[in-house]
Copies of this chain bind each other. A is one copy, B any other.
């Protein structure tokens, strides 16, 4: 197989920066002038340019100067059929679903409409630097089929599955447990592990699932232990109250999914804004993951995810970060980082003790601060670990799929370049500290205009016009 290579300034992660407080760069790998060598879409060498190039004289090199190259972004929670409806007005979760979301998602039962949606969805993800996602679809099988087909055509790593709801939704939007079982079983055979597609058993959320539906999920997971489980958890106070009314034998929201054997590795619950300390601990113990969706949590007024609690070293919970489009109003994981930073800082106006001195918790407060290295870890290696796909993506380790993003730190609103010139006055970053400063600028001052190129398995899949 022919070898290709990309030369440029690289930054990726080899560990979790939250476990290196005060020395985060220990979790980081940085080459001011580096080379990534690729064969058959996989990383075969990564290191300093001079020595790596010497070891691979046969590699055809593409040089991307004046860019900061990082692993492709992982969006842990996105709703494919909500691509068009980001931005519904004025409602919290439950009425918003009824008014805005279900009617739009219904249209994805039509293959042609779903294909049009898929074009916009993938184009926008790639323009945003997202190379891996875990998605909800709709209750119509065709919606999931179209998503997987298009992911395969684009060669993008996708986790998805038909999204089941059988109560608290209009009749025309529900799917029966039997139909769900049949469709999921068929789709697992058809799509799971084919190319880069992976399947997730996807009950929409406990509020929309009868006991029979959850039993069906348990059965699917037992019959297909290798697949993923993806759902929502503890997003909104009214939703939580509704779930506990429906499942009176469960003492908390996580308990519902536990009861049906769904919580463990490869389980992701989206949001987790209102998870108790006990639920966080049980998720940590079981290896389950939570997705932090700050744009959505602010947009729908759901609340403030306790980032500093989820990252408690004694009970670290696996995390992905997600846009939650269309509950989130932005497709770009850079905007997710912006809002995630804001949520962490907001949490801290409580934890610094200046409001209620007894609430002071400076260690948790420190963990709430989304430093640029924590941030980009969270949407690359951290996201891959949250999804249990860090053997395939997340950084530039040998054998991983060569998905990456070339960032132009000057891309963004008008003042961006002048701002960045203060952070790295002599042009590109020459140290990991300079690179971290630029990354912080990109996430707080820039936006998806900083994404100059997106590559999938060693092939350029997007170039900014």
Contacts and interface: CB of A to CB of B under 8 A. Distances in A.
A305 to B, nearest CB: 12
Nearest to A300: B345
Nearest to A445: B87
B86 A301 contact: no
A458 to B, nearest CB: 23
Contacts of A238: 352, 354
Contacts of A298: 298, 339, 342, 345-346
A124 B417 CA distance: 11
B413 A444 contact: no
Interface stretch (A39-47, A204-212, A325-333, A388-396): A325-333
Given A303-B346, A332-B413, A413-B331, A87 B440 contact: yes
Contact of A329 (B83, B85, B300, B445): B445
Interface of A: 83-87, 89-90, 92, 104, 120, 123-124, 127-128, 236-238, 241, 298-304, 329-332, 338-339, 341-342, 344-349, 352, 354-355, 369, 371-372, 413-415, 418-419, 422, 440-441, 444-445, 447-448
Given A87-B419, A87-B444, A346-B301, A414 B236 contact: no
Contacts of A237: 349, 352, 354-355
A415 B329 contact: no
Contacts of A301: 342, 344-349
26 contacts: A83-B415, A83-B418, A84-B419, A85-B422, A86-B419, A86-B444, A87-B441, A92-B348, A92-B349, A120-B414, A123-B414, A127-B413, A127-B414, A237-B355, A241-B354, A298-B298, A298-B346, A299-B345, A301-B344, A302-B349, A303-B346, A331-B413, A331-B415, A332-B413, A413-B448, A414-B448
